[in-house]
DNA sequence: ACGTACTGTTTCATTAAATGAACCGATGTT
DNA sequence: AACATCGGTTCATTTAATGAAACAGTACGT
């Protein structure tokens, strides 16, 4: 590992909870020599990535990161971070992969990609994804602020025979999403379409959107679902990462344990990262 | 200069205008060896501070900066970046120094600090600073979106005999602010108070607030004004920097040329930076 | 088909920079 | 007074960064 990486890694110890870290604490955290750590801190401070609290002499995040983040936000649209992941996801699952973004209380399609393998396939042409009826929507609601669930309740509407239309049923559904870590929509939005979705997160650890795979319902089976979930986990990790977010611990554990029980083969996304 | 700094400095070449930079271009920009530059880029990419556009193979800002910026935003309030600068500013000028922050269309006091040297001094206790009547407000308006000026026009109100109350006079006043680089309020808000202010900027290069010095009008004179302006420039640079912003070129040149014509002595803020 | 410019590697001798143990001075605690 | 902890510094040693060169592969235009 290069010196540069070792130094930059110090920044990773700072968080919302741990706003400031002193020299001695950094030393303990990293296990590195004190003088070395000190020089790293000085270098980072010189670059503006860190700054020293003049009172406590501890180090906190510096102003330079604000400029860098602004450049990132204005030059790299969230769409870009999702698109090629979706391509791989669509390829790996041979289905329609799509990502959506939560803007206020509406879930808006951001990008999608369709495998060319099947002649019969799902196409996406909605301006908005209903939160209570789609896999993406359920994935979002399950990890969103309770206020958003309230909003979604008000907009409940029947789309198919399978659509969840009672508040109680919706809450049970959301609890099951939290239990298994996936949102599932078995023809609850469109007849003949089976969707599996997972939430995406932003830097504030809030839900920012979802990524999902929509299949033709007659083509789905248990084995296929397992494979799709596996790919979805990898895709969600990549997109969340590209958006500067982190997968919450609870969900992360859920995903980890499910992937061990799932087949460890044919994860094209994970392979492509190496 | 440490390796760490040299590597991190590469990030500084990326901007809103220059979203992506390739290896060869980085090499030209920095004048460093190609292999070295390449190793830097790899290290930054490994840290997530950079990412490579898979299409163009050029490097762009990475997702990690979003997380870092979020930590900065949530753990270091803007107030913290202003406070000690204000202390020094108040000390150096022996007057009341205050910073304000633009929230929507209202300019709200953020922090202030008062020199203890004089017994007669200005105190600040307003919940809001009128844009058309205060030095801070004029400084903000002069560099703000025209829409904000329109809003300010609607809220024009007389405070003293010196208050600018016509739109035409306000526009002329704003032009003079742009010409000299300072907002001046000679008893236009409060009788007996002479204010000089300059705007502050955020990472998007938009006006984010102002920093100003308010003096007892009878104590002010040409030499004192020169000294205050000098100190204000330094203070505004520091606070803007702490907020992740940059002083716009036009204003920067204005300040540079004025500071050469001003006395180069007794700039306590600049000295304290070294 | 050819030349050119680009990215991305690797090799290797040279050199500059990173390293870590010990130390300093200040502050605070028992 | 003794001791611990903290931020920061020093310096001989060593390790890692450096840069020149060479090479592979790709894309573009003549």
Give bridge partners of residue A60 from the DSSP assignment.
A51
**What pLDDT was estimated at residue A114?**
87
- Looking at chain B, which residues constitute the CATH 3.30.450.40 domain(s)? 76-273
What whole-number distance in Å separates Cα of residue B26 and Cα of residue B8?
Answer: 12
Please report the residues numbered 193 through 212 in chain A whose beta carbons come closer than 8 angstroms to any beta carbon of chain B. Answer: 202-204
Residue B197 reports pLDDT greater than 80: yes
Topology (CATH level 3) of domain B76-273: Beta-Lactamase (3.30.450)
Residue B274 reports pLDDT greater than 50: no
- Looking at chain A, which residues constitute the CATH 3.30.450.40 domain(s)? 77-273
B107-157 pLDDT, tens digit per residue, is: 999 999 988 777 666 777 778 999 999 999 999 999 999 999 999 999 999
Does any CB of chain A come closer than 8 Å to the CB of residue B243? yes
Does any CB of chain B come closer than 8 Å to the CB of residue A14? yes
The CATH architecture of the domain made up of A77-273 is 2-Layer Sandwich (3.30)
Q: Give the closest-approach CA distance of B256 to chain A in angstroms.
A: 23
Looking up tokens 């600018």 gives: B164
Looking up tokens 């932003």 gives: A202
Q: Which uninterrupted H or E stretch holds B101?
A: strand B96-103
B200-209 pLDDT, tens digit per residue, is: 999 999 999 9
Residue B272 reports pLDDT greater than 60: no
User: Token pair for residue B104?
Assistant: 């929507």
pLDDT band at B259 (very low <50, low <70, confident <90, very high): low
Please report the residues numbered 136 through 195 in chain B whose beta carbons come closer than 8 angstroms to any beta carbon of chain A. Answer: none
**What pLDDT was estimated at residue A263?**
44
Does any CB of chain B come closer than 8 Å to the CB of residue A245? yes
Q: Do B75 and A47 touch (CB under 8 A)?
A: no
Find which nucleotide's C1' atom is closest to A24's CA: D6
**What pLDDT was estimated at residue B125?**
72
Does any CB of chain B come closer than 8 Å to the CB of residue A50? no
Q: Is the CB of B59 under 7 A from strand D?
A: no
Cross-chain CB nearest to A71 (options B14, B54, B67):
B14
Topology (CATH level 3) of domain B3-71: Arc Repressor Mutant, subunit A (1.10.10)
Q: Do A72 and B63 touch (CB under 8 A)?
A: yes
In this structure, the number of other CB atoms found within 10 A of the CB of residue B175 comes to 11
What whole-number distance in Å separates Cα of residue A148 and Cα of residue A102?
Answer: 10
Q: Is the CB of B3 under 7 A from strand D?
A: yes
3-state secondary structure of B135: helix
Q: Give the closest-approach CA distance of B187 to chain A in angstroms.
A: 35
Cβ proximity of B98 and B109 under 8 Å: yes
Which chain A residues are within 8 Å of B73, Cβ to Cβ? 66
Calculate the CA A146 to chain-centre distance. 19
What whole-number distance in Å separates Cα of residue A229 and Cα of residue A219?
Answer: 15
Residue B266 reports pLDDT greater than 90: no
- Looking at chain B, which residues constitute the CATH 1.10.10.10 domain(s)? 3-71
A139-191 pLDDT, tens digit per residue, is: 999 999 999 999 999 999 999 999 999 999 999 999 999 999 999 999 999 99
CA triple A146-A148-A149, angle to 5 deg? 65
Interface with chain B: mutation pick from A1, A18, A70, highest number of B CBs within 10 Å? A70
The values of phi and psi at residue B242, to 5°, are: -65, -25
Q: Give the closest-approach CA distance of B9 to chain A in angstroms.
A: 7
| Mean of pLDDT values over B220-236 | 95
B71-107 pLDDT, tens digit per residue, is: 999 999 999 889 989 999 999 999 999 999 999 999 9
Cross-chain CB nearest to A63 (options B8, B43, B242):
B242
The rounded radius of gyration (Å) of the Cα atoms in chain B is 21
Ranges of residues in chain A whose predicted pLDDT is under 70: 119-121, 259-274
């Amino acid at each position: 590992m290069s010196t540069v990486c070792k130094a930059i890694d110090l920044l990773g110890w700072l968080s919302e909870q741990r706003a400031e870290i002193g020299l001695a604490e950094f030393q303990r955290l990293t296990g590195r020599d004190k003088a070395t750590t000190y020089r790293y801190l000085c270098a980072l401070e010189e670059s503006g990535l860190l700054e020293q609290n003049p009172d406590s002499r501890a180090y906190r995040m510096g102003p330079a990161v604000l400029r860098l983040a602004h450049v990132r936000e204005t030059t790299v649209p969230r769409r870009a971070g999702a698109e090629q992941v979706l391509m791989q996801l669509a390829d790996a699952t041979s289905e329609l992969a799509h990502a959506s973004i939560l803007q206020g209380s509406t879930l808006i399609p951001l990008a999608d990609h369709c495998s060319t393998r099947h002649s019969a396939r799902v196409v996406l042409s909605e301006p908005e994804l209903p939160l209570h009826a789609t896999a993406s929507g359920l994935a979002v609601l399950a990890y969103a602020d309770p206020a958003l669930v309230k909003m979604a309740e008000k907009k409940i509407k029947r789309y198919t025979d399978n659509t969840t239309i009672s508040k109680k049923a919706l809450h049970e559904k959301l609890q099951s999403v939290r239990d298994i870590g996936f949102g599932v929509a078995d023809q609850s939005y469109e007849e003949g379409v089976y969707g599996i979705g997972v939430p995406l997160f932003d830097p504030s650890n809030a839900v920012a959107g979802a990524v999902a795979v929509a299949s033709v319902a007659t083509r789905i089976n248990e084995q296929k679902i397992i494979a799709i979930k596996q790919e979805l986990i990898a895709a969600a990790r990549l997109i969340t990462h590209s958006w500067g977010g982190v997968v919450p611990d609870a969900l992360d554990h859920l995903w980890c344990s499910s992937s061990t029980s799932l087949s460890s083969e044919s994860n094209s996304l994970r392979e492509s990262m190496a």
